[in-house]
Amino acid sequence: MQYTRVRVAAVYDIHGNVYALRPVLAAADEAAVDLVLVGGDVAAGPMPIATIELLRSLGSRARFVRGNADRSMVGVFDHEREAAEWDGWPAAQLSRADRDFLAAFELTVELDLDGLGKACFCHAVPTSDEAIVTAASPDDVLLEALKGTDARLVVAGHTHTQFDRRVGDRRLVNAGSVGNPCADRPGAYWALLGPEVTLRRTDYDFEAAAEAFLATGFPQREVFAQQVVRPPTAEEATAVFERRAGR
């Protein structure tokens, strides 16, 4: 299906937090978007199946970009890679249909956005679902990362931190994380695109979500629950990611 001049809700890095996803999708409906663009890392977290079921119910109203966590969970399910603490348990919850749903995600999606023109949606950068670009990355790093597309606007996630950067005529927008953000206050972070770029934050019941997560078998449930209520700051996360990238 082809979409032209659309208004899009960019929803990234849900990480099995269906409590955060529900109100974001409701807010997207209220904003009368034409399409929900799900930018990857949907199920690696405490409630993978409920999250997948809700996303699958969107049908043709959504398109999906593959994240590194989605790729890893499929690899664990297929016994092609060794499970880690963060992806082994979620992958073990998957049915074959769930696995096939994740495996069908696209590497990138290009759309013609209302008022913004051509945009490339990717998980991290257009050529990689793991490369690291942050609000603090040098301009040359950003420009090199965006070489995989001729779209002047690139929308990504991966680092769980919202930002909007311009270098010359290129623009990189990080939509943030719905389910496990790095931000100065708790919330579900996403982006509304068309006719402008609007970085959004949606409230939900953080304490109820944390309590529900603690009742799951997710190995990192305690850390995840704590971060939902008291997330790492954007500044802290940026510093960690820049060190991880060797910068």
Output the pLDDT for position 4.
58
Return the pLDDT at 1: 42
Residues 105 and 72 sit within 8 Å (Cβ to Cβ) = no
- Per the prediction, the chain carries an average pLDDT of 96
Structural domains in the chain plus CATH codes: 8-244 (3.60.21.10)
pLDDT band at 24 (very low <50, low <70, confident <90, very high): very high
Decide if pLDDT at 95 tops 50: yes
pLDDT at 94 over 80: yes
Please tell me the predicted confidence (pLDDT) of residue 5. 78
Q: Label residue 3 by pLDDT band (50, 70, 90).
A: very low
151-161 pLDDT tens trace = 999 999 999 99
CA atoms of 126 and 145, how far apart (whole Å): 7
Cβ neighbours of residue 107 closer than 8 Å, sequence gap 6 or more: 65, 66, 122, 129
What is the chain's alpha carbon radius of gyration, rounded to the nearest angstrom? 17
Residue 49 β-bridge partners: none
Residue 175 is predicted with a pLDDT of 98
Structure tokens given for 40: 């990857």
- Whether the pLDDT of residue 2 is over 90: the answer is no
What's the pLDDT tens digit per position in 47-91?
A: 999 999 999 999 999 999 999 999 999 999 999 999 998 999 999
Q: Alpha carbon 79 to chain centroid distance?
A: 25
Q: What is the mean pLDDT of residues 233-247?
A: 94
pLDDT(6) > 60: yes
114-151 per-position pLDDT tens digit? 999 999 999 999 999 999 999 999 999 999 999 999 99
pLDDT tier, 39 (very low <50, low <70, confident <90, very high otherwise):
very high
Average pLDDT over residues 242-246: 93
Q: What is the pLDDT of residues 194-225, one digit of tens each?
A: 999 999 999 999 999 999 999 999 999 999 99
